[in-house]
Amino acid sequence: MAEAAKILPDMEKEDLRILMAIEIGMKRSEYVTVNNIKFYSRYPIEETLFRLKKVHKWNLIVRDSSKSEVGYTLNSIGYDVLGLHTLVEKKIISQLGPLIGKGKESDVYGCMDDSKNIFALKIYRIGRTSFKNIKKLRSFQGDRKHISWLYVNRLAAKKEFEALGEIYKLKLDTPKPIDFNRHIIVMSYLRGKELAYSQNIKKPSKVFNKIIKQIKEIYQNANMIHGDLGEFNIVLDHKDNILIIDWLQWVPSDHPNAKSLLERDIENVCNFFKKKYHVESDPYEIIQSFYNK
Ligand SMILES: Nc1ncnc2c1ncn2[C@@H]1O[C@H](COP(=O)(O)OP(=O)(O)OP(=O)(O)O)[C@@H](O)[C@H]1O
Ligand SMILES: [Mg+2]
């Protein structure tokens, strides 16, 4: 993402339009022929070739000359440029900050808008390591044989953004969704650390109860289960404020695996607080209380 943010100010709108033409073509095939890029951009061939050369030099696209017609595809930096550009144009953000988190499937950065408000910016990178991790997104795949990384990451961002919107209605400690574009989500930011790396929580049982209470409210009022809850998906600041993050894999409470996922979520939180902070709890009792409204 840092690469994309660095290149973006030097780009002309014609360069961006060439990237967008490739993006459109990628809906049909991984590599897009020069002829199709020309067609989608509506530029004459000379302009098309000139811009292709330029963005290729910037390392935003990959060339395939093994077929009879030369083709191009966006690489992840090229896709980052498009997402970032749109968010900047919409005045959602104006500056990218430091990397604050790196997961298996995403990178998270700090970012700022014109009024110096700070947000978290999450970029999906599913398929970066391998497509094996794609399990979470099987439901998107349907009958498609070929699913492109671009499509998967765009859908992941959309899915998490929508989930954040649903939960945010309950006004609990979950990120406020600000906007999303392509594979990027912008949301409210809590300056802190993952619970796993917390040093000394002042009142551990208070934090524990707050987390359980909120997970219960989300379950009872939004019918949603986190599905990957634990000390790595809860951010904590120095005042013991929390933020329950990372909602891509949420499942509805009538999902076939709802019960076991909910149990695992609760047990994770109980075990963490027991081990690290000696907070005693009975996960079974807690889960039962979820079912009794
Ligand atoms: N809104 C936020 N405010 C503060 N920090 C955040 C926020 N969102 C994410 N982070 C930081 O970035 C890290 C990665 O974010 P997140 O857990 O959402 O993605 P992930 O772990 O890559 O997802 P996955 O578990 O699907 O691989 C978090 O552990 C946290 O440190
Ligand atoms: Mg996470």
Active site residue 228: yes
- pLDDT tens-digit profile of 168-208? 999 999 999 999 999 999 999 999 999 999 988 989 999 99
Q: Tell me, what's the pLDDT at 145?
A: 46
Look at ligand 1, atom 2, and give the residue with the nearest C-alpha.
189
Q: Which domains does the chain have, with CATH numbers?
A: 2-78 (1.10.10.10), 90-188 (3.30.200.20), 193-291 (1.10.510.10)
- pLDDT tens-digit profile of 5-36? 999 999 999 999 999 999 999 998 889 999 99
**Are 290 and 219 contacting, i.e. CB atoms less than 8 angstroms apart?**
yes
In angstroms, rounded to a whole number, what is the distance separating the alpha carbons of residues 155 and 152?
Answer: 5
For residue 71, how far is its CA from the centre of ligand 2 (angstroms)? Answer: 36
- pLDDT tens-digit profile of 248-263? 999 999 999 999 999 9
- pLDDT tens-digit profile of 204-222? 999 999 999 999 999 999 9
Q: Tell me, what's the pLDDT at 292?
A: 85
Q: Tell me, what's the pLDDT at 272?
A: 98
Question: Given the structure tokens 């000359």, which residue do they identify?
Answer: 65
Q: Tell me, what's the pLDDT at 159?
A: 97
The model's confidence at residue 136, banded by pLDDT at 50, 70 and 90, is low
Q: Which residues line ligand 1 at a C-beta cut-off of 6 Å?
A: 100-101, 103-106, 108, 120, 122, 175, 187, 189-190, 194, 228, 232-233, 235, 243, 245-246, 248
Given a cut of 60, whether residue 110 has pLDDT beyond it is yes
In angstroms, rounded to a whole number, what is the distance separating the alpha carbons of residues 164 and 119?
Answer: 14
